[in-house]
Amino acid sequence: MRPEILFPLFQDVTALPGIGPRLAALLTKHAGARVRDVLMLRPSSLIDRRMRVLAADAPDGQIVTLEAQVDEHIPGRRKGQPYKIRLYDKSGYLHLVYFHGRPDYLNKVLPTGETRIVSGKAERYGSEVQIVHPDLIASVEEAETLPLLEPVYPSTAGLTAKTIRKAVSGALALCPDLPEWIEPSLLQDRAWPSFRDAMQALHHPREVEALNPDAPHRQRLAFDEIFARQLALQLTRAHRRKSHGRALKGATGLARTIIDNAPFEPTGAQLRAFKEIQADMEADERMIRLLHGDVGAGKTFVASLAAAQAADAGVQSAIMAPTEILARQHAKSLSQILEPAGLRVVTLTGRDKGAGRRELLETISSGAAQVVIGTHALFQDDVAFADLGLVVIDEQHRFGVSDRMRLSAKGYRPEILAMTATPIPRTLALSVYGDMDVSKLDEKPAGRIPPQTRLIALDRLDEVIAGAGRAIEKGDRLYWVCPLVEESEVSELSSAEDRCRHLQAVFGQERVALLHGRMKAAEKEAIADRFRAGDIDILVATTVIEVGVDAPDATIIVIEHAERFGLAQLHQLRGRVGRGDKPSSCLLLYKGPLGEISQARLEIMRETDDGFKIAEEDWRLRGEGDALGLRQSGLPNFRLADLEAHADLIPVANDLAKLYLTRDPDFTSDRAETLRCLLYLFEQDQGVRLMRSG
């Protein structure tokens, strides 16, 4: 049951003053359906009416407040012209400008001869000072009761600023004094107010700095929201630790044999990551671990060792990839490692049909195949495993939670290993993957030469094409990446189809091929195979090559409109070259002039090949807009916290959540009720369920 103290906040928005059914529908769409949603509507800016000036002294572009007498109403002479009202004070004249103004209303609020207080952004228009659609018009008496600092909230069609402010004030009035869930020493150390006082300071500010992310009340509210999520994640983690898996102990040391006979020297990071995975698999608790690492750091080899450990314990492994091209690439890599050790690796994708599919399903259900690699096809109803003990999800952010659950349901509490080739900053990993154990691959195989990265303006395209011709004559092969598949009337970005035709005209049709996501899987794989085999010199593609197309002999990648890509994606694309022992190049073509952030992003690419540094910079530059392009991967959509500004609070919240769970794992103390209140308030449903079940 929701704690009774929260009942006022979970009322429908119609409980707020002035909100009837019509406005409730608009407010629900804008903020949410309950009072607590309106309470958590964060102001985007402040109107500061403390600057009282004379009309002649009003600074251009700043919000000012003036006291002046209404002199004359001047309606527009023709349709479409603005309605103006001239006011004057002892320094001169001021014009208020209204587009589509209603004369009856304006005469009522600004009667000629009366003195009014007006506030808004002053603009210089020739010798005139004007305010377009002032924020405030009030009599001298009314103005004395109004706040000098007024919050401005994100608006939407049909809801006036005044309506939103009134609704927020109503929500604040309904906010009770909630029990304190933060450790007293932390509150004292940070000088944070109570939850209600923090809300009061947010919505009724007393100084301009009230909206600064580092203001104590902003930090307090951000911490509450982050802490609720971290507590829910830690509850999930604790619950998972209680649910026993199976101890998958290797009978013959097969994984060690594969390490000793690997055709290359495994990196220290690969061996450390596998040691962590192996310890999890051999323990009674069920493994749920994330493996993340730099481009080319060798996560596939680590996954093959985990599969060998599972097979050595007598169970099967399923490895799920988001695309067929990547699934078949994994199958090829894992077969080379595992089949010499006597393990059978099979691939199942949507392309498998008829008798061939039935034969594959029989191989899987009988247990003859120890390792099954595939796409979404793996969790279809007709797929049955003899004994599925390990599930590996590659590029796991491309799958929904339900996909992972449906595949896991094919076995009895299988171990879960999620993988991503995008290095994840620690704060983000805690925020998104706090319920998982994390292993990190931060070394690259010996002998790899980082690609040399150059920034080239798009108006030098002819020089780049000439350089590509010289590289081809020397036997090099190259990727050419474009942002769009086909030409667009609404965008000037290069299209892959257009660029392919252009390059075919220069180098010959048989030497240049096109690859994009709209092609059928078989067609994509055939082209990727031809490129790998050396039958194609230039592969023109969209970002579909970001994962899966592995051609170690390709030494050059050209990325058009590089300024339009995120850092993490550019780094992924660059990782297509530099996979062998030959020198390689990455040419980032940009359309100038570049903005400050775009320039910084491309400079970082030129300066470093370290994916972890790049991930941290991407996180810093993008902020919470779309951190690492991971919005679809479960990055929480915070309302009171700004992940960019409040990232340092995530580890603090995580530590406090762990402390509370260590002190009171069964939630029997008095504080358990306050934590229940926190989880309900921030709608962390999973945490609520787990806490309720003990």
Superfamily of domain 50-146: Nucleic acid-binding proteins (2.40.50.140)
Query: Rounded distance, CA 444 to CA 441, Å?
Result: 8
Query: Rounded distance, CA 440 to CA 53, Å?
Result: 59
Query: Tell me, what's the pLDDT at 627?
Result: 37
Do residues 417 and 291 lie in contact, with contact meaning Cβ atoms separated by under 8 Å? yes
Query: Tell me, what's the pLDDT at 652?
Result: 94
Query: Rounded distance, CA 364 to CA 272, Å?
Result: 31
Q: Give the distance from CA 525 to its chain's centroid.
A: 30
Query: Rounded distance, CA 435 to CA 404, Å?
Result: 15
Query: Rounded distance, CA 41 to CA 156, Å?
Result: 13
Q: Can you list the alpha helix ranges (DSSP code H) found in 122-215?
A: 140-143, 161-174, 184-190, 195-203
CATH of domain 452-608: 3.40.50.300
Do residues 13 and 34 lie in contact, with contact meaning Cβ atoms separated by under 8 Å? yes
Strand partners, 590: 457
Gap between the terminal Cα atoms of the chain = 14
Q: Which fold has domain 254-441?
A: Rossmann fold (3.40.50)
- pLDDT mean for each 10 residues of the chain (694 residues): 92 93 92 94 84 88 90 90 94 92 91 93 87 88 81 82 90 96 95 97 90 94 95 84 83 92 92 96 90 88 96 96 88 93 93 90 96 92 94 80 82 91 76 82 84 94 94 92 69 78 92 87 85 91 72 89 86 85 91 86 90 81 47 63 86 92 84 91 79 54
Do residues 159 and 22 lie in contact, with contact meaning Cβ atoms separated by under 8 Å? no
Decide whether 254-441 matches 452-608 in CATH topology. yes
The model's pTM: 0.72
- Compute φ and ψ for 385, nearest 5 degrees: -105, 150
Query: Rounded distance, CA 362 to CA 340, Å?
Result: 23
Question: Regarding beta strands 288-293 and 437-441, do their DSSP bridges make them parallel or antiparallel, or are they unpaired?
Answer: parallel
Quick: pLDDT tens for 587-619. Answer: 999 998 888 888 888 999 999 988 888 888 877
Query: Tell me, what's the pLDDT at 274?
Result: 97
What stretches of 400-532 adopt beta strand conformation (E)?
415-420, 437-441, 452-457, 477-481, 512-515
Query: Tell me, what's the pLDDT at 691?
Result: 65
Question: Regarding beta strands 63-74 and 83-89, do their DSSP bridges make them parallel or antiparallel, or are they unpaired?
Answer: antiparallel
Q: Could you tell me which residues come within 8 angstroms of residue 185 by beta carbon, excluding any fewer than 6 positions away?
A: none
Angular region, 113: left φ>0, alpha ψ -120 to 50, beta rest: left
Query: Rounded distance, CA 406 to CA 592, Å?
Result: 47
Taking only Cα atoms into account, the Rg of the chain, rounded to an integer number of angstroms, comes to 31
Angular region, 575: left φ>0, alpha ψ -120 to 50, beta rest: alpha
Tokens 């078989």 label which residue?
522
Cβ neighbours of 77 (radius 10 Å): 6
Residue 289 three-state SS? strand
Query: Tell me, what's the pLDDT at 424?
Result: 78
Do residues 538 and 511 lie in contact, with contact meaning Cβ atoms separated by under 8 Å? yes
Tokens 């094919």 label which residue?
410
Indicate the domain borders of the chain. 4-45+167-211, 50-146, 254-441, 452-608
